[in-house]
Structure 1
Amino acid sequence: MIALDDTDRKLLRALARDAGQSAGALGRRLGLSQPATWRRIRRLEEAGVLKGRRLRLDAEKLGFGVTVFLGVKLAAKGRASLEDFERAVSAIPEVQTVEHVLGLYDYRLRVVARDIPDFERILRRRIMTLPGAGQVEANVLLSEERRPGPL
């Protein structure tokens, strides 16, 4: 675990709001020089605190109007079953996240689709045919509140 000071925390908050900012712009906001800001960013990356930078795409504007969370319970459990399922489900482009969870289901998937008929096609032809797929529960996303910021 890395020790973070107040400046590190401010830097993380600023990057969480907009990861595309230059080191110079971040430094001006934090009262640091560009090289000092860059050194802090590199230190946080090397320590594994920063794990890359991402763009957030608007799924709806890209034609994906439906997001569904699926709870998937595997029919058979075992190390091979888990690995086969994870490998196969990760190859489906509409599956945005795959989370191995503890509880009623073994996996929680975030799936995007153009509309409900498109989701039904994805469910029937891709997800239900996965190795080990058993019981599935779907929850359609109605709205989402973003809470940007660091942990």
Structure 2
Amino acid sequence: MIALDETDRKLLRLMAEDAGAGAGALGRKIGLSQPATWRRMKRLEEAGAIRRRRADLDLAKLGFGVTVFLGVKIATRGRVSVEDFERAVSAIPEVQSVEHILGLYDYRLRVTARDIADFERVLRRRIMTLPGVASVDANVLLSEERLPGPLG
């Protein structure tokens, strides 16, 4: 675990809100100079506290109006390599995240599609044909509210 002071926490909160903000703008908000803020950002990145920065895309405006969470159960584990499933599912562009979980399902997938017909195509032709898939349960996302997380 990395040791964080209050300034680090403020910086991380601001970066989580706007990953594209520069060190100068962030520094002004937390009362540090641009070089001091940049050094903190670099230290946090090198320590692994910041894995990557990315844009928060509006999928609906890009033509992807449907998001579905899939619970996937893998068939008898002895016959199918978990790595084979993970490698194959990660190659599907509509699959936005793959989470190996404990509970009713083995994996949770976040899948985006243009519409329900497009999702059905992805489900039938790509996901249901993956190695080891025994069953799939789908939950369609109606709305999403992002919370600030543990630093918020």
Instruction: Normalising by structure 2, report the TM-score.
Output: 0.94
The change in CA–CA distance for 1:9 and 1:15 in structure 2 (over 3 A counts) is same
How far apart, in 1, do the equivalents of 2:150 and 2:76 lie?
38
Residues 72 and 136 in structure 1, CA contact (< 8 A), matched pair in contact too: yes
1:149 deviates by 5.1
**Which residue of structure 1 lines up, in the alignment, with residue 93 of structure 2?**
93
**Which residue of structure 1 lines up, in the alignment, with residue 74 of structure 2?**
74
Amino acid at match of 1:39: R
Matched, 1:46 2:46: yes
Of 125-134 and 19-28, deviating more is 19-28
Secondary structure class of the residue paired with 1:142? coil
Secondary structure class of the residue paired with 1:10? helix
Matched, 1:118 2:123: no
Amino acid at match of 1:122: V
Residues 23 and 34 in structure 1, CA contact (< 8 A), matched pair in contact too: yes
How far apart, in 1, do the equivalents of 2:135 and 2:13 lie?
40
Q: Name the Cα RMSD after superposition.
A: 1.4
The change in CA–CA distance for 1:2 and 1:140 in structure 2 (over 3 A counts) is same
1:33 deviates by 1.2
Residues 80 and 132 in structure 2, CA contact (< 8 A), matched pair in contact too: no
Amino acid at match of 1:58: D
Amino acid at match of 2:109: L
Q: Give the unaligned 5+ runs of structure 2.
A: none
**Which residue of structure 2 lines up, in the alignment, with residue 102 of structure 1?**
102
Percent of aligned pairs with the same residue?
78
1:78 deviates by 4.0
Residues 80 and 131 in structure 2, CA contact (< 8 A), matched pair in contact too: no
